[in-house]
A and B are shown apart, each in its own frame.
Chain A
Amino acid sequence: MSGTSIARRRLSPGARIGLAIFARYATIIGLALMIVIFSILSPDAFPTLNNFVNVLNQASLATIIAGGLTLAVVVGELDLSIGYAASLHGVLVTGLIVHDKLPIALAIVIVLALGALIGVVNGLIVTKLRVNSVIATLGVGTIIVGVAFAYSSGVPIVAGVPEGFLQLSLGRWLFGIPNPIIIMAVVVVGLWVLVERTAIGQEIQAVGGNPIAARLAGISVDRIKILGFVISAVCAALTGALLASRLGSGTTNAADSYLLTAFAAVFLGSATLRDGEFHVLGTFIGTLIIVFGFNGLNIFGAPTFSQYVFQGTILVVAVALSSLGRMLAET
């Protein structure tokens, strides 16, 4: 409002264009720089095919949950329940397989369906009861924590996890690519096509851009918003199941930290290539930045605290870049 923000200053057209280019490409340049610097500093450990496959594998779960969150923010809402939900789904899928002896595939289908249900609940609370999405999903997320504790009594389910379930995340398929990378690729491409290339995707973008105008253009805004929450929650469920498979156990808070990673990735992504607009491809690049950063810090043996500092800094920088892009687009 004060109007003295960077984008509003009296800038020469050249400086303005330079700033706009910086805002759009800073994240990609940052990613490239990071890879170059890590490669120079650690030429033996970092720039190897094995490490890159490893990083992508690390990034796959974060990308899936952040990709889902992208759909929620594209329709103009926030979903804070995804981390807790992913933890619950991890506990639940392990329990269904270990205690109830359900086939692995059926157990996964059940948690994905439960994920969809959580998304519908979030969406109905936000659209029909008109509760702000931050509050609604925080409330639902807290209830989910309670459900996870009730189901597992807070005790991790470790013993008796079958090899088949572990292979879901440890196994390799086509050309020896780890399964999570393949699943991530399918999710990212699927979400990208949905948002960018389908009629529903156009409606999703319109609802996020101006819900009143979208409604008066004949779009069912509530239904589109609920869809955004459902996709977000289903992706969280998938992430939870894959994480349980990777860890070989179901723990009640295993996936909680994915919430922050997903938000940082989504906002980094909105500052990538487009002027502060959320989009799936951007989220993917955002996740890569975060995971490459963690990977580099690990290789150099940086202390644990630095990872938190890194992630917090990334989140703030990401949102600043995103709003800089938006301001430049508006003036």
Chain B
Amino acid sequence: MEDPMAGTSSAPTLVSAIGICKAYGGAQALRGATLTILPGETHGLVGANGAGKSTLIRILAGLTAPDAGDVLVDGNPVVIETPHAANELGMSFIHQELAFVPGMTVLENIMLGLPKKTRFGMVDWRAIAEDVKPIADRVGVKAALGASAKGLSTAENWLINITRALVRKSRLIVMDEPTAALSAVESERLFAIVRALHKSRVAVLYVSHRLDEILDLCQHVTVFRDGRSVSELAGPTLTRSSLVEAIVGGAIEAEPKRATSAASRPIILSARALRRAPKVIDANFDLHAGEVLGLGGLVGAGRTELARLVFGADRADAGAMLLAGQPYAPKNPAEAVRAGIGFVPEERRTEGLILTKSVAFNLSLANLGSLIVSPALPFISGSRRRSLAERVIRDLAVKTASAETAVGQLSGGNQQKVLIGRWLQSKPKALILDEPTRGVDVGARGEIHRLIRGLAQAGAAVMVVSSEPDELPDLCDRVLVMVEGRIVAELSGATLNRQGIVAASYAAAHERNRS
């Protein structure tokens, strides 16, 4: 790929943030961070969770104000007080949680918040559509502009957001973890768009934990660690090992050796012909004590839906389950918890945590029974709650100012640890984790993997859903691959590797399409 090392030091900068500091409560999120983006370049921003990436983006987007430091656009100091001001300066932001209105059409969503052409005082949608159509085509929006946005995939939403940024004539598009929710095919489409943006001189700030993408797409990469920019890499210095070293600030610990086959251990949970059409069709599996069972496949293959059936978050149309030999048909999650199952949901902020409440509060939620003084006196023991919280914080190395800090102030990786820590005390027979390392950095990812292995070694049956083919071979003893609601392959031992999982996900899909 061409190397536009326009980076001679005299080149004008598009956006630069210099010496930015920001504290949330007692936690210092940024300590003099610096980021310089040149016109038209694809600039990578990487760093561990809690390194300050999201905070810097929030400052550029006008969502929060820095305590100190300057932001310059085209070399001129600016104060970005509102998201609108950020847009006026030529910046667009595509956040992890996409904002769109399902009840409106694709075109209306693209034009959300943009000035619209009018005719006799009324919005002239026809003229707008003519302007937008070529841009939408270039980006690759497949849905018709007049179609309802309801039910569009995450990938389509990304394309709509990119189209909006281009209609707005943005000079910088900030993408926060763009591929976290995309399948492999959708990701490829996104990469092509990012490359095209580079060609047409639109700068992209690409924030991702996936280093292969960063290496593939970016000309410059800034690495954040502990609220500071520790390294800026480009050209020959930009390699995987230099990135990892900068992110972690040292070597990564090797992960513990995987346990041997667990097939001989007792079966904790078994499912037969479990069905909730069309997302889960006749699923059969056994989950053994002491094993980590992976659930792989493409986004939308029905893995989350299967996990939710086991946890009683949704109810099955048909089929049966046995838990420790007893018939098990949870009507709701409360029954599943009572039966001894724990669940770590995919969306930790909206489905997992109560953000305004403290770390201790969130940790205690699944353990209230063990915290009461006695069955006759159902009062919560404050000291027991505190000691539980402090033990989990210590064991899991959760970075937090205190047990009483609101959990919303923690970084993503630390929030995830709190969510998993909730189930450590109650020692469930089976624990289901949905995308446990999504949006989590290399270091915290290793810690979470060790934690999951540790739970299995302690005898729990663990089921992990993951969209990253790389993650499952590292973590699991066995992996089931789902395609279009069905379990199509079981991989273990020598067949358990990245290629095997990807091949099973695609081969089966291909076959089904032909028949």
Contact = CB atoms under 8 A, between A and B. Distances in A.
B336 A218 contact: yes
A217 B365 CA distance: 7
A199 B372 contact: yes
Contact of A198 (B334, B350, B380, B408): B380
Interface string A300-320: 000000000000000000000
B345 interface: yes
Given A198-B378, A206-B354, A10 B81 contact: yes
B88 to A, nearest CB: 13
A88 to B, nearest CB: 32
B501 interface: no
Interface string B361-376: 1001110110110000
A214 B356 CA distance: 13
B23 interface: yes
Given A202-B361, A331-B64, A218 B366 contact: yes
A217 B65 contact: no
A193 interface: yes
A205 B357 contact: yes
B380 A197 contact: yes
B379 interface: yes
Contacts of B354: 205-206, 209-210, 213-214
A11 B81 CA distance: 11
B399 interface: no
B87 to A, nearest CB: 12
Nearest to A207: B354
A11 B343 CA distance: 40
B84 A213 contact: no
Contacts of A220: 332, 334
Interface string B448-473: 00000000000000000000000000
A3 B79 CA distance: 14
Contacts of B446: none
Interface string A184-207: 000000000100011111110110
B333 A218 contact: yes
B406 interface: yes
Interface in B349-398: 350-357, 361, 364-366, 368-369, 371-372, 378-380
A50 interface: no
B90 interface: no
A216 B333 contact: yes
Interface in A77-114: none
Contacts of B443: none
A45 interface: no
Interface residues of A, number: 36
Contacts of B336: 218
Q: Output the residue of B79, B334, B366, B378 with the most chain A CB within 10 A.
A: B334
B83 interface: yes
B81 A215 contact: no
A181 to B, nearest CB: 26
Contacts of A205: 354, 357, 361
Interface in B306-350: 311, 313, 332-334, 336-338, 343, 345, 350
A199 B63 contact: no
Q: Output the residue of A205, A218, A219 with the most chain B CB within 10 A.
A: A218
B62 interface: yes
Given A199-B368, A213-B351, A329 B65 contact: no
A8 B63 CA distance: 8
A153 interface: no
Interface string A1-37: 0111000111111000000000000000000000000
Contacts of A210: 350, 353-355
B255 interface: no
B380 A202 contact: yes
Interface string B131-156: 00000000000000000000000000
B313 A213 contact: no
Contacts of B361: 202, 205-206
Contacts of A217: 333, 337, 365-366, 422
A10 B80 CA distance: 9
Given A3-B81, A216-B345, A199 B369 contact: yes
Given A199-B368, A199-B371, A202-B368, A330 B408 contact: yes
A218 B313 CA distance: 10
A122 B379 CA distance: 28
B82 interface: yes
A200 B354 CA distance: 16
A209 B338 CA distance: 22
B40 to A, nearest CB: 29
B79 A10 contact: yes
Contact of B379 (A4, A198, A219, A329): A198
Contacts of A199: 368-369, 371-372, 378, 380
Contact of A212 (B62, B65, B311, B350): B350
A200 B311 CA distance: 22
Nearest to B23: A13
A215 B333 contact: yes
Contacts of B79: 10
A216 B313 contact: yes
B379 A202 contact: no
Contacts of B408: 330
Contacts of B356: 209, 275, 277, 326, 329-330
A50 to B, nearest CB: 38
Nearest to B352: A213
Nearest to A215: B333
Interface in B27-54: none
A215 B332 contact: yes
B313 A13 contact: no
A215 B380 CA distance: 20
Interface of B: 23, 62-65, 67, 79, 81-84, 311, 313, 332-334, 336-338, 343, 345, 350-357, 361, 364-366, 368-369, 371-372, 378-380, 406, 408, 422
15 contacts: A2-B82, A3-B81, A8-B82, A10-B65, A197-B380, A198-B378, A198-B379, A206-B365, A209-B357, A212-B350, A214-B365, A216-B345, A216-B352, A219-B334, A219-B365
Given A199-B368, A217-B365, 15 more contacts: A8-B64, A9-B65, A12-B67, A193-B379, A198-B378, A198-B379, A199-B380, A201-B380, A202-B380, A214-B354, A216-B311, A217-B366, A217-B422, A218-B366, A275-B356
Enumerate the 6 nearest inter-chain pairs by beta-carbon distance, A residue then B residue, closest first: A218-B337, A209-B354, A10-B65, A199-B368, A3-B82, A217-B365
Interface of A: 2-4, 8-13, 193, 197-203, 205-206, 209-210, 212-220, 275, 277, 326, 329-331
